[in-house]
Amino acid sequence: MLEVFTNLFNKNRNNYSNLIKDFSKNLKFSTKANFDRKTEYKISDIFLESLDPQKSSSLSFTIYENMAKNYDKLLFQSSQIEFDLFVINPLYIGREYNKTMSFQNISANEELPKKILFEVVFGNGYMLIQDMENPEEKIEIIKIKEKDFILVENGKCFTIINSSENENLILAAFREKDTILNPNVLKNYHGSSLYYTKLGFLKNNNVHPGFQINEYDGNYTLDFAFDKNKGLYREFVNLPEKFNFLKE
């Protein structure tokens, strides 16, 4: 009876409890889940985009690519959609909260910009979104928490910040198969227009002084609608054609 109650609690608590068994620093996956690639990024990898650059070998964040439950793998393959997991560790890099470097999703062959859709699986933080054609003009700041959805459109890049001092920030990402995450796309600007510190956001001195800041709290999906109670993974399994817009 206790086991049934525990399973029900986990199901209600998080849409990804049947994929991830431990959301803490000791991240643990279900035996039902597998992934093709695991890429670990160290603090030194985001050296060019940090407020206080450090060439440390400590782990900053990890991306688990092409993840799925064993029996859903063929569905993802046939639908030409890939599911990734971003795990950003809770730590500081100098004065700054830990983050990813800037990424842009592009097609592997033609290097055309492509959309990427996120769901916050666990934790709290921020996502910064900027236009690649005019990164100095404006920045979108989205404050994110569990079950929020964020769509990064074609031609835009993103940086994910973990605002917690002791908990992982975990995001699920859905993108077209055969796209790649191009890293450090804002390195010529020394990273995003803003850095997040204990004192709040600090402006990057390398950007135009008159740039515009747009702030959002929670979902950032434009006209697309998704069910928070189901989560993106279950929505995809139930209706994969709904995600065809990621191929446009």
Q: What confidence category does residue 6 fall into, taking pLDDT thresholds of 50, 70 and 90? A: very low
Mean pLDDT of the chain: 92
Q: What percent of the chain has pLDDT over 70?
A: 95
Q: Phi and psi (nearest 5°) for 223?
A: -95, 0
* pLDDT of 147 higher than 60: yes
pTM of the model: 0.93
Q: Are strands 212-217 and 138-144 parallel, antiparallel or unpaired?
A: parallel
Closest CA to 103 of 139, 157, 176, 40: 157
Q: Residue 1 has what pLDDT?
A: 43
* pLDDT of 212 higher than 60: yes
* pLDDT of 194 higher than 90: yes
Q: 76 by DSSP, 3-state: which?
A: helix
Q: Dihedral angle at the C-alpha atoms of 13, 14, 15, 16, nearest 10 degrees?
A: -140
* pLDDT of 9 higher than 60: no
Closest CA to 72 of 82, 87, 62: 82
- Is residue 153 within 8 Å of 118, Cβ to Cβ? no
Q: What is the mean pLDDT of residues 115-123?
A: 97
* pLDDT of 10 higher than 90: no
Q: Tell which wins on pLDDT, 95 or 109.
A: 95
Q: Residue 211 has what pLDDT?
A: 87
- Please provide the CATH number assigned to the domain covering 2-247: 2.60.120.10
Q: What is the mean pLDDT of residues 197-213?
A: 90
Tens of pLDDT along 69-87? 999 999 999 999 999 999 9
Q: Residue 162 has what pLDDT?
A: 98
Q: Residue 223 has what pLDDT?
A: 78
Q: What confidence category does residue 127 fall into, taking pLDDT thresholds of 50, 70 and 90? A: very high
Q: Which of 3-12, 71-80, 125-134, 139-148 has the lowest mean pLDDT?
A: 3-12
Q: Where are the chain's structural domains?
A: 2-247
Q: What confidence category does residue 13 fall into, taking pLDDT thresholds of 50, 70 and 90? A: low
